[in-house]
Amino acid sequence: MPQTLRAPVTAAARARAPDATLRRSRVTPLRANARAAKRRVLVIFAAASSAPIVAAASGDAKTNVLVVGGGGREHSLCWRLRQSPTCGNLFCTPGNAGIASEDGVEVVRVNESDHAAVVKFCEEKGVGLVVVGPEAPLVDGLADSLAAAKIPCFGPSKSAARLEGSKGFLKDLLKKYDIPTAKYERFTDPEKAKAYIKSEGAPIVVKTDGLAAGKGVIVAMDLDTALAAVDDMMLNAAFGAAGDEIVVEEFLTGEEASFFAVVGGGVAVPLVGAQDHKRVGEGDTGLNTGGMGAYSPAPVLTPEMEAKVMKTIVQPTVDGMAAEGCPFTGVIFAGLMIEGDDVKLLEHNVRFGDPECQCLMVRMKSDLVELLSRAATGALDGSEKLEWSDDVAMNVVVAANGYPGSYAKGEVIEGLDDADALPGVKVFHAGTASNADGEIVSAGGRVLGVVAVGDDIAEAAKRAYDGVDAIVWPGGFVRRDIGWRAIARDEKKK
């Protein structure tokens, strides 16, 4: 079961962690070994400078940037963008308490649903790049409104955002352009969906066609669960209009992984891969969530596999979207199922993953403003060479008790400065706010992401959980087995 954060965890409590690798060595806090810790943090987070993405520097021009979103993903994007030598003024809406505390980031109140207000703000502040974090504003057409005002936006148009906004659209595109994926059928009639499920048998996967905050996918290991999912989605409107149509697809076996590419002007530039943990409980049990943790790189995504993903999945998707009259700009997040040398696409998302993005941002050494600006303006040419740290990054999500169901808000969280002071640790805020007394309080389901880097997965895990243990919040919990696949692989090699 997930572990509640009732107090800083003692040595005895730490010994209950499921993998011995997480228990072995202690990490000296930054204040106890300042010189070594400071040197390590600078190397890990590349805070001093960002490497250009091409051989020639882009000059002294600065770009004012607006980040749209208020989660952990957006906190990490702001943190990395701020380190770019080409970043001018940096704004974020609606932001969160952690983003508001970052030097050089101004949290503003602009309603992202009011496209005219967003455009007006950008024009008044001279914003030259808008980075949209979550998928909902993209599906709502924010990028189209910005394009009409000639404001560069890193994010797809409304029609291109259907890659994530409609699972049926995605599956039909994959089928048309021979991109490997699971067998599927689309349904608007619940009885026909149930008949198909009975004919196929379990296990089977039932998905809402529309957006459901990462919770509209039911992996049904038996028929009763699958049939109940149809009722919940289509008859009980558990996910609103997102469940008016559903996709029922084949259950695939293998290992899941996430791969990312920045796209613009028909060119796809590969980033790196990661692996997340969707289920709420340890051992990958319980309900699906938006993600309880992640790490990067993912050992299952070898260089050969990444090249195969680019050739058979990412680039054909980019080409197919262009052929359909909805060229894609932004990040393609390919959710993959890998078994041996075989890879199939589970889903495409049109934004950085959360919790994966945080891992990518602490590993990235290149100029993020320059990269995203090139994509947004169609200036990518395929020669971009990105630099990444060799470190392993891990993100452990701290969630509110009850998540992904109902949960309390407004609970005070302490120990965040202590966690941030540990070497190799950075706490990114997600669902946080400040109360009238200036204290950090919970304001969502997934509340914090404790990110750490290390020479290997075991060191990254040890540091991340040391960061978690410094946080005092009785109303929060974590999974204690993030990275278990990679840790098991490393243990086998020893």
In this structure, are residues 217 and 242 in contact, taking their beta carbons and an 8 Å threshold? no
Q: Which pTM value belongs to this model?
A: 0.88
User: Is residue 250 a part of any domain in this protein?
Assistant: no
User: Is residue 169 a part of any domain in this protein?
Assistant: no
Which pLDDT score, from 0 to 100, does residue 27 have?
25
Q: Looking at residue 214, which CATH number applies to its domain?
A: 3.30.1490.20
Residues 268 and 365 in one domain: yes
Final residue belonging to a domain, choices 98, 130, 154: 154
Q: Looking at residue 464, which CATH number applies to its domain?
A: 3.90.600.10
User: Is residue 112 a part of any domain in this protein?
Assistant: yes
Which pLDDT score, from 0 to 100, does residue 5 have?
55
Residues 240 and 273 in one domain: no
Residues 237 and 270 in one domain: no
User: Is residue 179 a part of any domain in this protein?
Assistant: no
Each residue's pLDDT expressed in tens, for the chain with a length of 494 residues: 455 554 333 333 333 333 322 222 222 222 233 333 332 333 334 443 456 554 334 456 899 999 999 999 999 999 999 999 999 999 999 999 999 999 999 999 999 999 999 999 999 999 999 999 999 999 999 999 999 999 999 999 999 999 999 999 999 999 999 999 999 999 999 999 999 999 999 999 999 999 987 779 999 999 999 999 999 999 999 999 999 999 999 999 999 999 999 999 999 999 999 999 999 999 999 988 999 999 999 999 999 999 999 999 999 999 999 999 999 999 999 999 999 999 999 999 999 999 999 999 999 999 999 999 999 999 999 999 999 999 999 999 999 999 999 999 999 999 999 999 999 999 999 999 999 999 999 999 999 999 999 999 999 999 999 999 999 999 999 999 999 988 888 888 87
User: Is residue 58 a part of any domain in this protein?
Assistant: no
pLDDT, one tens digit per residue, over 273-330 is 999 999 999 999 998 899 999 999 999 999 999 999 999 999 999 999 999 999 999 9
Residues 372 and 259 in one domain: yes
Which pLDDT score, from 0 to 100, does residue 171 have?
98
356 phi/psi in degrees, rounded to 5 = -70, -35
Which pLDDT score, from 0 to 100, does residue 53 have?
55
Which string of DSSP letters, residue by residue, matches 448-494?
Answer: EEEEEEESSHHHHHHHHHHHHHT-B-TTEEE-S-TTHHHHHHHHHH-
| Polymer length in residues for the chain | 494
Residues 195 and 85 in one domain: no
Residues 9 and 99 in one domain: no
Q: Select from 20, 22, 131 the least CA-distant residue to 396.
A: 22
DSSP SS3 for 274: strand
pLDDT, one tens digit per residue, over 418-446 is 999 999 999 999 999 999 999 999 999 99
In this structure, are residues 427 and 448 in contact, taking their beta carbons and an 8 Å threshold? yes
Residues 212 and 292 in one domain: no
Peptide bond into 297 cis (omega under 30): yes
DSSP SS3 for 72: helix
User: Is residue 465 a part of any domain in this protein?
Assistant: yes
Tally the C-alpha atoms within 13 A of residue 327's C-alpha that lie toward its C-beta: 12
Residue 437, CA distances (Å) to 102, 107, 408, 434, 441 in order: 19, 19, 19, 8, 10
Alpha-carbon torsion 278, 367, 332, 157, what sign?
positive
Which pLDDT score, from 0 to 100, does residue 50 have?
56
User: Is residue 172 a part of any domain in this protein?
Assistant: no
Final residue belonging to a domain, choices 106, 134, 154: 154
Residues 225 and 323 in one domain: no
Which string of DSSP letters, residue by residue, matches 197-244?
Answer: HHHH-SSEEEEESS--TT--EEEESSHHHHHHHHIIIIIS-TTGGGGS
**Residue 440, C-beta contacts closer than 8 angstroms, at least 6 positions apart:** 97, 412, 413, 414, 416, 429, 432, 433, 434
> Tokens standing for 473?
């919040």
Distance CA 342, CA 74 (A): 33
Which pLDDT score, from 0 to 100, does residue 87 have?
98
68 phi/psi in degrees, rounded to 5 = -105, 120
Provide the domain limits for residue 299.
255-376
Which pLDDT score, from 0 to 100, does residue 3 have?
54
Number of domains composing the chain: 4
User: Is residue 56 a part of any domain in this protein?
Assistant: no
Residues 371 and 281 in one domain: yes
Q: Looking at residue 264, which CATH number applies to its domain?
A: 3.30.470.20
